[in-house]
Chains A and B, each alone.
Chain A
């Protein structure tokens, strides 16, 4: 095969038949899988179950807040003067996060709740590198937040929607990680985060 067949050659870093191109570095990936070991699924559950409480409305509003954050983040990235490929990616991902916002808003209403208000955010991004770095953090955190909260969801329909969304977050995370030459999948089992830990992590980005 010709390397020029790869649509994103700069990411490829791919060596095929001895043709080398840049680095396609997958740091620390092999080590990470050992964290949970294979023997038990217990560690996931401990955290997932620790966050019981306000029912599906609370969980969906929590997700909505994170989606507001991500949508706003990508919108702001539009003014950074990103390079063509990355600009396109930010626009695409941002559009998808906005669709998540809309879907989750509708879900809260359908559940009879009041949708969370959109906070005002502040993002410390000034160039491509800082954008990519924060994007990775936000997307990885999103995955961990959804995976942590989802087992507590009661409605099968809401669970299905959350699953549909978290897969997109994971895809975003992996794509961003590749652009940073990080492993797209650092662990064999994605880690989970409790709601309180997530909120604490994103607190510096919330102005009001």
Chain B
């Protein structure tokens, strides 16, 4: 559903410029870096013989999997960095700080696993982006955390059908539901419904997600 948009954004300079224009030009440099991270189709090593065989019947594209995993990696970098900054902010203490640290630690484990997955696929891991988050007060930070986690869950869901390699799919699913758990916990704390989409979670394409995370990437 979203891979076309992704390919366009990440692989095609013209549409990348269009996209950047669309989302505003501030911080375009850093954002271009992010987009570049999502697009490694020109990486020669992406077709190396070390790539695990895909069992998908649709003529899987290892380079597409690489793009997706690097996209996920970038989102996980953002989340891990977010929680690290929140933990260091002094806004939270005690049990709630423990929760923040736990969630942050889990995001860091996702970073490590996805980095290893990119390498295993023969690709080059996306660079860690520099982040900026508004950390003004505890309640707004909790709301931002909920926003980020709900977005993360829908981002993973949006890619599940595009992943060709079954190992990568299994890993993504295993991470997807952890993002969902985080989102649910934060929604609960904030008194929002735990299933804001109802009985069926809605996926988000890369084109949906990228503009929403752009404000958190420092120029």
Contact in complex: B157, A183 (CB < 8 Å): no
Identity of the chain A residue whose Cβ is nearest the Cβ of B154 in the assembled complex: A167
Contact in complex: A184, B181 (CB < 8 Å): yes
Choose one: A40, A49, A154, A166; the contact of B177 (CB below 8 Å): A166
Interface residues contributed by chain B, number (CB under 8 Å): 62
- A12 CA to B139 CA in the complex, in Å? 12
Choose one: A23, A40, A185; the contact of B103 (CB below 8 Å): A185
Contact in complex: A29, B95 (CB < 8 Å): no
Q: Which residues from A are CB-within-8-Å of B102?
A: 26, 29-30, 183, 185
CB of B187, distance to nearest CB on chain A (Å): 8
Question: Is B12 positioned at the interface, with any CB of A under 8 Å from its CB?
Answer: no
Specify the main secondary structure of chain A where it touches its partner. Answer: helix
- Indicate the member of B157, B184, B187 with the most A CB atoms within 10 Å: B184
Contact in complex: B168, A41 (CB < 8 Å): yes
- A15 CA to B90 CA in the complex, in Å? 12
Chain A residues 1 to 57 lying within 8 A of chain B, measured CB to CB, are 1, 5-8, 11-18, 20, 23-26, 29-30, 33, 36, 38-42, 44-45, 48-49
Contact in complex: A41, B113 (CB < 8 Å): yes
Choose one: A25, A175, A188; the contact of B95 (CB below 8 Å): A25
Q: Which residues from B are CB-within-8-Å of A18?
A: 93
Contact in complex: A14, B191 (CB < 8 Å): no
Contact in complex: A48, B170 (CB < 8 Å): yes
Question: Is B110 positioned at the interface, with any CB of A under 8 Å from its CB?
Answer: yes
Contact in complex: B190, A7 (CB < 8 Å): yes
Question: Is A95 positioned at the interface, with any CB of B under 8 Å from its CB?
Answer: yes
- A72 CA to B166 CA in the complex, in Å? 33
* Stretch of A76-84, A110-118, A155-163, A195-203 that contacts chain B: A155-163
Identity of the chain B residue whose Cβ is nearest the Cβ of A184 in the assembled complex: B185
Question: Is A69 positioned at the interface, with any CB of B under 8 Å from its CB?
Answer: no
CB of B1, distance to nearest CB on chain A (Å): 8
Choose one: B92, B109, B170, B185; the contact of A44 (CB below 8 Å): B170
Q: Mark B96-108, 1 if CB is under 8 A from A, else 0.
A: 1111011101100
Question: Is B28 positioned at the interface, with any CB of A under 8 Å from its CB?
Answer: no
- A147 CA to B157 CA in the complex, in Å? 12
Q: Which residues from B are CB-within-8-Å of A15?
A: 92-97
Q: Which residues from B are CB-within-8-Å of A20?
A: 94
- A170 CA to B174 CA in the complex, in Å? 10
Question: Is A205 positioned at the interface, with any CB of B under 8 Å from its CB?
Answer: no
- A30 CA to B102 CA in the complex, in Å? 6
Q: Which residues from B are CB-within-8-Å of A48?
A: 166, 170
Q: Which residues from B are CB-within-8-Å of A1?
A: 137-139
CB of A106, distance to nearest CB on chain B (Å): 12
Q: Which residues from B are CB-within-8-Å of A26?
A: 95, 98-99, 102
Question: Is A60 positioned at the interface, with any CB of B under 8 Å from its CB?
Answer: no
Contact in complex: B157, A184 (CB < 8 Å): no
Contact in complex: A49, B180 (CB < 8 Å): no
29 A-B pairs within 8 Å (CB atoms) are namely: A12-B189, A13-B96, A15-B95, A16-B93, A16-B138, A24-B96, A40-B120, A41-B167, A41-B171, A44-B171, A92-B193, A147-B173, A150-B160, A159-B161, A164-B201, A165-B199, A165-B201, A168-B195, A168-B201, A170-B184, A173-B181, A174-B182, A174-B188, A184-B181, A184-B182, A184-B185, A185-B181, A189-B171, A189-B175
Given contacts A184-B185, A187-B178, 7 further A-B contacts (CB under 8 A): A24-B96, A29-B102, A30-B105, A41-B116, A170-B181, A187-B106, A188-B175
Q: 5 shortest A-B CB distances, which residue pairs?
A: A7-B191, A38-B112, A15-B94, A167-B201, A41-B171
